[in-house]
Amino acid sequence: MRIKNAVRYKAPIEMLKPWFILMLAVIVIAGCAKESSEAAPSEAKQITVASSTDSGINRLDAASYEGMMQAYPLIYDSLVEYGEKGEIQPALAESWDISPDGKEYTFHLRKDVQFSDGTPFNAEAVKFSVDRWANKPEHDWLLTSKNLKSVEVIDEFTVKLTFTKHYYMTLAELSYPRPFRIMSPTSVEPAGDPEGKFVKAIGTAAWVQAEYIQDVQTVFTPNSTYWGDKSGIDKLTFKVVPDSQSRVLAAQNGTIDIAGGEVSKIPLESLSLLKNGEKTKLATQKGTASYFLVVNDANKAIADKKVRQAINYAVDKQSIARDLFDGTGSPATGILPTTNAYVSEDNNKGYSYNPGMAKQLLNEAGWKDANGDGTVEKEGENLVFSLVLQTEEYPEWKPLAEAVQDQLSKVGIQVELKVLEQASYYDALWKNKDYDLLIYRTYADAFNPLSFLMALFYKTNEAPAVAFGTEQLSSLIDRAAATLTDEERFKAYNDIFQLMNEEAMSVPLFYPDDLFVVNNRISDVQLGATTFRPIVWEKLRLDEQR
């Protein structure tokens, strides 16, 4: 065909006009199908926080595990709150008495409190909440629920909880984000029935639910009947932003005001941008969690204490903190940072970086690089470990694992990285132990040290420990749990940490800081003592001039 001939016609572009108009119309219709809900910047003092998951406020039963952890304390108060280094502070309970045998807890409640819907807060309301969780099988992992014998209303503002056994963590457990917080009897239907069906989240805490669009955002407004200090802002919006990179960008252009912590982790790579950004600053404090390697002693090589110690010596914790993570945390020494209760400089020494020592220990254990291929071997077999990790929740574990891989290769240990998706990763950790080394994090704040040790390092006659366990360690943990005084407890934990260190039961890697990026227009950012109450939201202030 002769296309050239066609050129004498006008260019067809003109004829495309109807197409353009039609298509524009389509896209406009598509776009307008949903009314623009662009949040107009009104006078209302509003702060938007990024969260990586939905708040789940519509099923935020105080005695359930359905919602975002940080959402519970916004709505519900607990009897006592967890402070720095495990200091228990009064909340709904002004004071409390513990019987000498540690089995009876009597709480004296505040008298000036009511639930956000006007329901009076009193001993009956506490009893309702306690009845809702008491002895339920799903809370058996918390001894406070499992060992609860009775709850008695002494008078209008006094409640007594009686347990079958003494357990020193009871107060700490009561401060957990769930399931022990106090919910209004009117939250369920029929009202006041502990077995009632949950209908609405009603509590005594600083915030109430205002608006909720699932997977988009949850808006909280100050609780007008709140017993504590009045909030400095009018609206607190949790906007769901699942992608960490999007959170950084949103913080930079001011779409969100706060991101970080466990609510919405910000990638460490972006911190330099946010540190002294045009619109952003950082708020940090030392964290209470740590990243460490779980070692699987089912592997014959790892069962040898010298090999475990060699791995500890081979990891350059300083370089990880300084070079890899740009000083956004501290080099790890022991399994838990000293920001935790009962952890001190003395019982938390850890292993220094000493590749020479590592090689020597490997040598003593019979692992030598005889054939010169760079990997040590014993009886003709190379020393190869699998290192399992996940990146959905902790994207920084990938570079961390690569750094560890490189450092171990320098002492002749070959490491194969296995990045699993979240569910398989947790299967590997909790169920099938399909790993030699695995990156994990310790629990944080109120869950440390006892809940964490129980969960990972406690071995019973029926079941082996999830991470690493010996009979000796289990009996020490039992001893710590049974202690009645702080002094005894300190001694017990000293023994525990020293044993874990000496036996190299784990490979501590890094103590990450709690990191938040905050818009410059916000002042008075006070970070909380726990990951489930990461920021004291009601204390936030907005600078007017910006």
CB contact at 8 A, 50 and 263:
yes
Instruction: Compute the radius of gyration of the chain from its Cα atoms.
Output: 28
Longest dimension (CA), the chain: 104
> Least separation, in Å, of the C-beta of 143 and another protein?
13
Nearer to another protein, 13 or 370 (CB): 13
Which member of 47, 335, 401, 507 binds another protein (CB under 8 A)? 401
Contact string 155-194 vs another protein (x = CB under 8 A): ----------------------------------------
- Which span (105-113, 212-220, 438-446, 533-541) binds another protein, by CB under 8 A? 212-220
Q: Does 199 bind another protein (CB under 8 A)?
A: no
Contact string 38-77 vs another protein (x = CB under 8 A): x-----------------x--x-----xx-----------
Q: Does 382 bind another protein (CB under 8 A)?
A: no
- Which span (101-109, 180-188, 246-254, 509-517) binds another protein, by CB under 8 A? 246-254
Strands of 1-126, DSSP E: 46-51, 80-82, 88-90, 93-98, 104-109
CB contact at 8 A, 373 and 405:
no
CB count in 10 Å sphere of residue 101: 10
Q: Is the peptide bond before 534 cis (omega within 30 degrees of 0)?
A: no
> Least separation, in Å, of the C-beta of 18 and another protein?
9
- Which span (9-17, 166-174, 199-207, 286-294) binds another protein, by CB under 8 A? 9-17
- CA 251 to chain CA centroid, nearest Å: 21
Q: How many residues bind another protein (CB under 8 A)?
A: 83
CB contact at 8 A, 272 and 84:
no
Site for another protein in 407-436 (CB under 8 A): 416-424, 426-427, 430-431
> Least separation, in Å, of the C-beta of 30 and another protein?
4
Query: What are the distances in angstroms from CA 224 to CA 43, 227, 235, 429?
Result: 19, 9, 12, 45
Question: Burial level of 109, CB count in 10 A (0-12/13-18/19+)?
Answer: buried
By residue count, the chain amounts to: 546
Q: Does 353 bind another protein (CB under 8 A)?
A: no
The secondary structure of 25-51 as a DSSP string is: HHHHHHHHTS--------SS-EEEEEE
Which member of 132, 200, 235, 239 binds another protein (CB under 8 A)? 239
Q: Does 461 bind another protein (CB under 8 A)?
A: no
Nearer to another protein, 65 or 227 (CB): 65
Which member of 46, 162, 255, 375 binds another protein (CB under 8 A)? 255
Nearer to another protein, 8 or 545 (CB): 8
